[in-house]
Amino acid sequence: MKALTVATRAGKLAVAQTEIVCSLLKEVHPDIQLEIKEITTAGDRDRRTALWNLKDTGFFTSALEDALLTGRADFAVHSFKDLPTEQRDGLTIAAVCDRQYAQDCVIAAGSVTSIGQFPHAAKIGTSSPRRAAQLKHLRPDLVPTAVRGNVLTRIRRLREGKFDAVILAHAGIERLGLSDKISFSFDPAQFIPAPAQGALAVQTRTDDSRTSSLIASIDDEKLRTVTFAERKILTTMQCGCHAPVGAFAKITADKIEITAFISNLDGTNFIRRQITGPLEDAEHLAEKLANDLLASGGKKILQDLEK
């Protein structure tokens, strides 16, 4: 069997995530030969611009997709939340896997165990409009402050006194072996994560059936259902990746429960909805929930954001 080349973003977390996928593949296919190819993306090169000011979608993923489409890689590993909802022609998501933690977490300078314990007007490092809007909704006095760079850079800036706390994806902290630094984690049904947060997506070329079949062996069917339902919120609302929107779905027995929100940037107009129904209707339920959010004021929020 010839070695397969896997494309990944350069950086500790991206490589750690790719190694997780490689390990899962080797459990199923012990003889598989894999070579990791690190690629620097536009989002990695531009560390100064706040995420909400980056105009294009796919700034963490398109360079990997280019490597796939030109045959320089056989498959690519992405943080699923970073992938644009519109799939590029010639590519498919062959596997969704390894979502142990969907929630956001806080690493704080002081000893805090909840959002209520932050000091008045605390500076919270985040470049996510979704996180900023929820912070302002829960505590209007808090000051979300743009921060870029990888996880270790953000933690270093916290230690340097630039912030009172930073908010990060719990999954990334765990994958880097830094869970002892977490002050507390949010309940994902209350402080709602990005659609598909914490899950890994493995992408292949649609014309490469052999590789796609190999990768499909590690696909988690229930996780695929949950994450596709969460992403359906984004596609139905047509809100792009910079809008303050979150979605979280969970399966209980044969039912799926989906919670989602949309907000203006300062959290003063915060619309949250929930829906439960049969698992086989997951994407239809997500579409219904998204339309409810739009009809309840979400459409006006998106129009105002466009201005």
Q: Look up 241 and say whether it is catalytic.
A: yes
Identified catalytic residue from 9, 99, 123, 130? 130
pLDDT tens per residue across span 76-106: 999 999 999 999 999 999 999 999 999 999 9
Mean residue pLDDT across the chain: 93
Q: Which of 37, 88, 139, 148 is catalytic?
A: 148
| 141 DSSP assignment | T
Is 167 in the same domain as 85? no
One domain for residues 10 and 33 = yes
Q: 13 and 142: one domain?
A: no
Does 193 fall in a domain?
Answer: no
Q: Which of 35-39, 50-54, 122-126, 238-242 has the lowest mean pLDDT?
A: 50-54
Lowest model confidence (mean pLDDT) among 27-41, 43-57, 132-146, 205-219: 43-57
Which residues, including other chains, have CB under 8 Å from residue 46's CB and lie 6 or more apart?
A: 54, 59
CA distance 119 to 243: 27
> What burial class does residue 56 get, using C-beta atoms within 10 Å of its C-beta: 0-12 exposed, 13-18 middle, 19+ buried?
exposed
Whether residue 224 is contained in a domain is answered as: no
Lowest model confidence (mean pLDDT) among 135-144, 240-249, 268-277: 240-249
154 catalytic? Reply is yes
Do 176 and 50 share a domain, yes or no?
A: no
Within-domain flag for 287 = yes
Q: Judge whether 205 counts as a catalytic residue.
A: no
Q: Percent of the chain, pLDDT > 70?
A: 93
Which one of the listed residues 9, 22, 74, 81 is annotated catalytic? 81
Which CATH number is 32's domain given? 3.40.190.10
Using one digit for the tens of pLDDT, what is the confidence trace for 277-286? 999 999 999 9
Query: Active-site residue among 82, 98, 164, 208?
Result: 82
Given the residues 9, 131, 231, 232, the one annotated as active site: 131
**Does the annotation count 130 as an active-site position?**
yes
DSSP state of 221: H
Catalytically annotated residue among 22, 97, 239, 241: 241
**Contact in structure between 255 and 277 (CB atoms under 8 Å):** yes
Residue 58's pLDDT is 56
The whole-model pTM stands at 0.93
Q: Which of 117-121, 148-152, 175-179 has the lowest mean pLDDT?
A: 148-152
Average pLDDT for 200-222: 97
Mean pLDDT value of segment 58-67: 83
- Tokens 């010639």 belong to residue: 90
Report pLDDT for 205: 98
Residue 192 counted as domain residue = no
Domain containing 253 equals: 231-306
Tell me the C-alpha distance between 170 and 148, whole Å.
17
Respond yes or no: is residue 131 known to be catalytic.
Answer: yes
Catalytic member of 99, 123, 136, 154: 154
> How sure is the predictor about 53, in pLDDT bands with cuts at 50, 70 and 90?
very low
Instruction: Domain count for the chain, please give it.
Output: 3
Q: Residue 32: inside a domain, yes or no?
A: yes
Stretch 228-244: mean pLDDT, rounded? 91
The pLDDT of 256-264, averaged and rounded, is 98
Residue 239 domain flag? yes
**What is the per-residue pLDDT for 59?**
58
User: Does residue 18 register a pLDDT over 60?
Assistant: yes
